[in-house]
A and B are shown apart, each in its own frame.
Chain A
Amino acid sequence: MSEFLANIPFLAVAALICVALYIMMSQRNLIKVVMGVVILESAVNLFLVTLGYREGGVAPIFTNAPGTLMVLPVPQALTLTSIVIGVATTALMLSMIMLIYRHTGETDAEKSRKVKG
């Protein structure tokens, strides 16, 4: 049972990735496509955080630490970086959708598409 419980976060990651891929491939509204990308991002971040968990580990905060042996906080650092980068890409994607809407009055991928061939 505990084996199953320990794997729940990984199952959640897999489910989120599937949801994200489905959204990106099935939706034509550009805002929804971006939502798919953001869900994919959350899935990867969740994956990294889950990897960082060590059972019984000591958080690397030096005040009042019970010992000197602590968990190396690499995955947490990675996740923070990845979240910051995610904000930048999401903002840029949304601003581009705004421009597309200003040009064409559409956020539908098929209707706003001008370049062909």
Chain B
Amino acid sequence: MDALTAHSSILAIAIPLFAAFLTPLVGKLGARTRNVFVVVVLAFVEFLVLVLARDIYANGIHLYTLGAVSPSLAIPEHYMVPVRIVLEVDGLGVFMGIISATVALAGAIYSISCMKHETGQDRFYTLLLLLTVGMLGIQFTGDLFNLFVFLEILSISGAALAAFRTRFIDAVEGGFKYLIVSTVAALMVLLATGLFYGQYNLLNIAAIADVMQYTALDKIALALLIVALLTKSGGVPSHWWVPDTYTPAPAGTSPMIYAATLACMSTMFRVAFTLYGVKMSVATIGWLIIIAGLLSMFVGVTMALRQTDVKRLMAYHVISQGGYMLLGVGVGIAVLGDPQALAAYGREAVAGGLFHVMNHAFFKGLLLLTGEALFFRLGTRNLNRMGGMGRNMKWTCAFFLIGALAISGVPPLNGFASKLMIYEASYQLNPMLTIIAMMVSIMTLASFTKVFQSAFTGPELPEYKEVREVPLSMKLGMGILAGATLFISLFPSLVVNTIVYPAADALLNQAGYIGAVMGGG
């Protein structure tokens, strides 16, 4: 068990990576064997992440140096700086790891029935496992170059998955847009990495943060990193790829692409808090992120109101809810230089933003899955052509209601808990922020009322008389995310105190992150 704990971080990345390329071989043994194989691998990854989480909450930052005598030996003998590949997992990394692993597991189980009649399923599961590798990798890596590599793994597999049903033109278009945006963003990250290497001869995040001078080149690198990662996390003004990519993504992959988007967002927070910290002009960067957040909220929700495609509508809410996370964490960045304000409401703002990341990954994942379930049974995503589905698809309807109430911030569901934390904290920075955030919340409720009313209520339509409930595996996939949502709703303070505050503290504790690698600290 000790050995498993010590190696859990690298195993959580390596096992799905090898399994991905084994999947086509296992597929030769039959579809059922392959499906069981993929689900078992992802369940084991979830287990590894939980083992890792237990270790981190008990013993602090988990360090894994590849090729070293001891995994915790980041700096080799006779060297002053870390030269090996280092995985550094702290409270934030493992927090996002839990989210990614859970969503991936639910998505894979959901896909089993949903993809039954598609061709090329072996390749589908290969890509699905690779996407998991990318998501976990960018959370766990301790150096900037591997950040780029995992970002590319995530982008390539995400784009290929979005375009998987190539018989639909919108799928190809969505995948292509995602790939172009991701490639350019990843190249910007690589350029920034080059700028750091040219100045400091370092690639390790902690080592660079330790010697950061905030020169003109560092400012350019900061701009490149923030713009690239904001684009990848779907914040306004670079949000336009989100609806096009999420809408056609098949089966259980849209929640996974969403979790990948959140992984990029948390990487942006990592750059702001850990790589630069108080050395950058925190008020300017913080307010830029807050403004991007407010714009995302408002533009996302107003665009969502006029959509008639059920998944496209949900995808616009992805942008809008992403704004809450940017707002929460942005408030934290803006007051990073002021210890008094940070203690008073900054820490709570960061925790609220991160709590919303977790909640939203689960309930928006659930909503995207119900949207896909409607498409699976009805063959259309157009809300104007649906109706009365509450009778035939009772489970889907119930899951949709849980997700819709949670996203609109209706108490006592978890969306309310995280939004309340964001409201409370942002109110102390500027009351206007809270007013806009609450207004957006009401518009969200309006928009989901529309979906509920047009898809699930109303008279039974003759053409959908024969529609039945979705198969078991799809219910199970939705059930996992609904269960997670309800669990957080029932025990919000337990979840916040055990995993959300450690994640927020990990962001705020820059010295701890540096010290784990460089020693001293």
Contacts and interface: CB of A to CB of B under 8 A. Distances in A.
B221 to A, nearest CB: 12
Interface in A80-96: 81-82, 85, 88-89, 92-93, 96
Contact of A115 (B160, B163, B201, B244): B244
B183 interface: yes
A96 B172 contact: yes
Interface residues of A, number: 34
B222 to A, nearest CB: 17
B194 A99 contact: no
B184 interface: yes
Nearest to B168: A103
A117 interface: yes
Which of B83, B155, B176, B303 neighbours the largest number of chain A CB atoms within 10 Å of its CB? B176
A92 B159 contact: yes
Given A40-B184, A96-B163, A104 B176 contact: no
A75 B174 CA distance: 34
A41 interface: yes
B156 interface: yes
A115 B198 contact: no
A75 B197 contact: yes
Main secondary structure, interface of B, reads helix
A89 B156 contact: yes
Contacts of A97: 176
A117 B307 CA distance: 8
B187 interface: yes
A93 B180 contact: yes
Contacts of B149: 81, 85
Given A85-B152, A96-B179, A74 B197 contact: yes
Contact of A44 (B155, B173, B187, B247): B187
Given A78-B145, A99-B166, A100-B169, A47 B179 contact: no
Contacts of A112: 173
Nearest to A33: B180
Interface string B177-211: 00110011001001101100110010100000000
Nearest to B312: A117
Nearest to A104: B169
Interface in B132-152: 145, 148-149, 152
A64 B71 CA distance: 34
A26 to B, nearest CB: 15
A20 to B, nearest CB: 9
Interface string A3-35: 000000000000001000000100000100110
12 contacts: A17-B191, A40-B184, A44-B194, A48-B190, A72-B83, A72-B201, A78-B145, A92-B156, A92-B159, A115-B174, A117-B306, A117-B312
Given A72-B201, A113-B173, A114-B173, 12 more contacts: A37-B187, A40-B184, A40-B187, A41-B187, A44-B194, A78-B190, A92-B179, A96-B159, A114-B169, A114-B170, A115-B173, A117-B307
Closest 10 CB pairs of A and B: A103-B169, A96-B176, A99-B172, A51-B198, A85-B152, A89-B183, A47-B194, A115-B170, A114-B169, A115-B244
